[in-house]
Amino acid sequence: MTLLFVAHGSPAPAYRAEAEAFLAAWQLNYPGMDAQLSYIEMEPLFADVLQLLTEPILVMPLFLHEGKHYREDVLAVAQASGTQVHMLPALTNLQVMADLLQASCANEHLQNAHMVLFTHGAGGAKAQAAIQALATTFEARTQRPCSIALAMGEPSLQQTLTHVAQAGAKQIQIVPHFIFGGAWQVKAQLSMDVVMSQFGCQIQLGTPLHANPLLLKAISHLLSIHNP
């Protein structure tokens, strides 16, 4: 059986390097199963790699929501491929994601900062409710206020940062709800520069989740539950 990871893909220069580093870390820590990497918006494409692998294939989408990309670009493609594929769920478990975010913030130097959970924003009402639940859980765990900002939609990151700074926060920690880097990092830096210049506050941007060792453990746990 082959484990096939599926990532979104991005023209950002660092994206492929981060994704390949993630795959290398997985292969180092879990060498017992052949693991490959594919993308839906850059090569090697998921649909092409499916045709090259030995069946059965275990597909692990590197997504944080089971939205359009999961349904149409991965699940539907897998079902139409004619290959023996077993789909794993996306990384949507509330407690697991809260663990990941909390671990990502453990070494940040703004220990008393107002937290801003920065996420994609697409996915409809179900995804929005999941993000709100995650922010509430994360706030309870860290005992720090946590606001939400969207890369696509409102409130945008600049709107949220402005609101938090206007309320008097002197330190703000942006917590990325993204597995890999990409265009969201450029948006974040631009928003940070504007708000820091306007309000004189200190803002720190956290790292994407691929660098968090708990991500590998979370995926391994999914495999232990769903591996046929």
Span 128-140, average pLDDT: 93
Which residue would you say has higher pLDDT here, 124 or 32?
A: 32
Same domain, 120 and 49: no
Q: Is the pTM of this model over 0.85?
A: yes
Same domain, 108 and 135: yes
What are the tens digits of pLDDT across the range 9-41?
Answer: 999 888 999 999 999 999 999 998 899 999 999
CATH of the domain at 133: 3.40.50.1400
Q: In the β-sheet with 146-150, what is the strand arrangement from edge to edge? A: 146-150, 114-119, 171-176, 202-205
Same domain, 82 and 116: no
- Number of domains within the chain: 2
Calpha distance 165→84 (Å, rounded) = 52
Same domain, 113 and 192: yes
What pLDDT shows up at residue 105? 80
Q: Give the DSSP letter of residue 113.
A: P
Full domain range(s) for residue 7: 2-91+212-226
Same domain, 13 and 50: yes
Contacts of residue 194, defined as CB under 8 A and 6 or more positions apart, other chains included, come to 158
What are the tens digits of pLDDT across the range 201-212?
Answer: 999 999 999 989
Longest Cα–Cα distance of the chain, Å, equals: 57
- Picking from 65, 190, 177, 179, the residue whose alpha carbon sits closest to that of residue 115 is 177
Same domain, 169 and 102: yes
